[in-house]
Chain A
Amino acid sequence: MNKKGEFDKYIKSMNKVEVGDKMKKDVLNKIRPKQKTRYNWFPRLGAATVVVALMLAIILPLGMERNTEEGQLAVLPTIDSFENLQALLGHEGSDFGRSRFNDDHIFAIGGPMDDAVVSESDGIRSSRESTTPDHSTTNIQVEGVDEADIVKTDGNYIYYISNSRIVIIDASDPKNLRIASQIEYEWRETESFSPFNIYLTNDKLVVIGTRWEERGDNYWLDLETFTPEVDVISTREDSVELTIVEEPIHRGRRHWWGGNVYTVARVYDIRNRDNVRLERVVEVEGEHLTSRMIGDNLYLVANQNIRTYRFDIYPIYELSEDAFKPSYRDTAVGEGIRRVDFSYISYFPDSISNSYLNIIGFNINNNEKANVESILGGGDIVYCSGNNLYVTRTTFEHRDSIVAEIVTGDGRRMDMRTHIYKFALNNSEATFITSGAVPGRLLNQFSMGEYNGYFRVVTTDNDRGWWSPEHDMNNVYVLDMNLDIVGRVEGLAPGESIFAARFMGDRIYMITFVEIDPLFVIDVSDPRNPIVLGELKIPWFSTYLHPYDENHLLGIGEDVELVNGWVLTNGIKLTLFDVTDESNPTARHYEKIGGRGTHSEVLHNHRAFLFSKERDIIAFPITITEDWRWEPTFVGVVVYGLDLDGGFTLRGKITHMPSNNRSWVDWDREIQRILYIGDSLITVSRGMVMSTDINTMQEIDSLEF
């Protein structure tokens, strides 16, 4: 059977396999190009621009000035086609996205992910007006812009995420704590949901989490079907996002679980707390970055890595286009997955990233379709002012040092830039407006703030890279609403980096640190001319600044000591800064808690902080160790009071640890948050909730779960 002629019979038979005219007609009908109607913002804007441009052409010769504000928006190109996406990513300008959001990152799901942190409430977070008892709310940055947390209360019930389940505790009677109900999530091999944050409104509970799904089990199918006899398997491709066993490029067998990661909001009806009901699920592809809720409008921000490795392995025609589009789902309008078309995704020609930044917004109280906005970009840190959402992304570009030295003479080797993407928020719709960039990197969400029509940002810049902190310097930038820099102060505290910042109206307070901690007071009332009013140097640092009143700031940080030239932390330090005389700030009171090794979540997460000026409560979870002994001497919360004249006083400590056991720490009894409801302090750990009398600091009741 090896002469070609012998296959004539095959050819003869095959020739009878024919496509009928009807089939051809059908397929032609299907593929005939159609006029598309687009309702999206970008194309519409494109049209608007044409009009503007025409008007300008007519008006300009008459000597009228051009209004740049609108023209700027439309310049941004959209991806439009799969080929273009591939071309764009093939010439990726920045190495940032590739390293930061590579595929292995998918496995980071499951555990609670920390939100990016952001800035600017009046700081005094107490109760909302209602008939329920006075109670605390999550410590947030901007008044009116809620941030998700692991626990929320409405004054009667406590909603808490404990080990991937939601526990709803009836705390209306602090003497008799009771579990009203629990929501549990099943872990399946091909799909899982991990809750890590919640929001609460009057009759809705929103659970934010990550859903991961393996798309079918083709991974096993592939192995069984193809591995036994075949040496190289390179023809395999699948339109669904699945595993690739790819051998041609990497030696050995490497598997990619091409599962999809979604950032999810599950909305529950909690009118009946004993029987909560899932009402709606909204999800967008990508890893959870952060979320915000303004009124009833919830916005989820996610980073979606684009699987560019597939471009290296397969030619474009083998790839399923849809798998490269951001997808989302909203059960209010149907169970199916929807995708954002390339024509709606804009990109920045000078800064190509291999990830999408996806923002999905919806109103939790109505069933109107969720709105998705995607750009080719990525995000690290998010700040939301209420009207606008700012997402930043820091990139590093190495310069040729020799050329740089010759050309600039300053030996600058690295460009560290933070790109800022601005989205307008309007009735659950996030719309990309513009982008800008500033030199340097940001610390957290408190490094940004919008005020009186200007956007301010503080950065730490370094022209040599991370490895030479002695070249750090700190800058303040004021940007206008188009994100163009209009004012700046640069080169503050050379050799130090920003540890904390807080924006309060026309003032920026900023802490930098190396060995001693300067507090800077910066006046940005004239956006074009920000000035440093004063600075204070103290031998410890703060990592979180909280407004106490208009003349005082609370700082929480760590005490340090110098040992053989090393700076070692030595306990938590509370500081009350007095900024009455802004050119001469002072540390009016301070308090040291614990010894070396003492730690608190509040040092890096402002939501672990409970503060009420009226109630005179300053409280946070803490693990105290003395003299670097490994066993903590105390695990729980500390509650302080503050008197402007008398300073800090310890009102009490609360722990969930059994008193008879000091040799080991049960981490399920490590208090995560402290709240107050009426006259009770409520503390929650993964395995327990406890109520404590706010005046006597005596335990009232506790409940294990």
Chain B
Amino acid sequence: MIYTEKRKYLNYLVEEYSDMVYRLAMARTKEKENAEDVYQEVFLRLSKKIPNFESTEHEKAWIIRVTINCSKNILSSKHLKHNVELKENIYDDNTVPDKNDEANDLYCVVLDLPLKYRTVIHLFYYEGYKIEEISKILKTKENTVKSWLSRARERIKTKMEEGAKNE
């Protein structure tokens, strides 16, 4: 679809990509507050410069890149301020979508992973990107993405098993 008006196009972008941006931001920053900041920043940047997208896929990948970068900036600045890797305990209202839902355990385990691991997990399983695509988005070698993915899976597996034992 071709939008002749910038305003309409922005409306479309917000409508289409809000959830995607916010979820990825959440997966990366773990905190609602941060994710909201990232969300706003992403669309602010988009509004400043809208590239000519070749396709919807291009558009989506672009926005994912911007989200990754924005969240990185937020993480860096928070890191600088507090000198700690954000909050350790993620099991609270701010993060978990529905705290009464027992199915949140995996969500919490994923969010507990190091940043790059939870990013590839999110892109691979939630957004459904292929390894090749992820490597392009992250500008990383495919092998690197593969190893991150497998290490992430291993960690999740260990964590889940530990969790099962404890119960």
Contact = CB atoms under 8 A, between A and B. Distances in A.
Interface residues of B, number: 59
Contacts of B126: 7, 10-11, 14
Interface string B71-110: 0110010011000000000000000111001011111001
A17 B26 contact: yes
Contacts of B21: 19
Contact of B156 (A1, A82, A232): A1
A275 interface: no
Interface in A1-56: 1-2, 4, 7, 9-14, 16-19, 23-24, 26-28, 30-33
Interface string B1-15: 000001100110011
A239 interface: yes
B34 interface: no
Contact of A19 (B39, B44, B46): B39
Interface in A217-241: 217-218, 221, 225, 230-232, 234-240
A566 interface: no
B114 to A, nearest CB: 9
Nearest to A2: B153
Given A33-B47, A232-B141, A238-B72, A317 B62 contact: yes
A90 interface: no
A216 interface: yes
A83 B51 contact: yes
Nearest to A242: B76
Contacts of A17: 19, 22-23, 26, 97
Contacts of B49: 81-83, 316-317, 321
A18 B22 contact: yes
Nearest to B149: A2
A126 B76 CA distance: 58
Contacts of B7: 32-33
Interface residues of A, number: 46
B18 A24 contact: yes
Given A30-B40, A232-B144, A317-B66, A9 B107 contact: yes
B103 A218 contact: no
B51 A24 contact: no
Given A18-B19, A24-B18, A28-B11, A13 B140 contact: no
Nearest to B62: A317
Contacts of A12: 103
A61 interface: no
A19 B19 contact: yes
A235 B70 CA distance: 12
B140 A221 contact: no
Interface-central residue, B36, B80, B107, by most chain A CB under 10 Å: B107
B146 interface: no
Contacts of B66: 317
A13 B98 CA distance: 8
A205 B161 CA distance: 72
Interface string B28-51: 000000001001100111111101
A318 B40 contact: no
Contact of B46 (A18, A31, A225, A239): A31
A238 B76 contact: yes
B101 A13 contact: yes
Given A1-B157, A232-B140, A235-B140, A13 B48 contact: no
Interface in A176-214: none
Contacts of B69: 237, 239, 317-318
A657 to B, nearest CB: 51
B14 A24 contact: yes
Contact of A10 (B46, B68, B79, B125): B125
Contacts of B141: 231-232
B48 to A, nearest CB: 7
Contacts of A1: 153-154, 156-157, 160
A336 interface: no
8 A-B pairs closest in CB distance = A16-B97, A31-B47, A13-B107, A7-B125, A19-B18, A1-B157, A9-B106, A234-B139
16 contacts: A4-B125, A7-B106, A13-B96, A13-B101, A14-B122, A16-B98, A18-B22, A19-B22, A24-B18, A33-B6, A82-B49, A221-B79, A234-B138, A234-B139, A236-B72, A239-B69
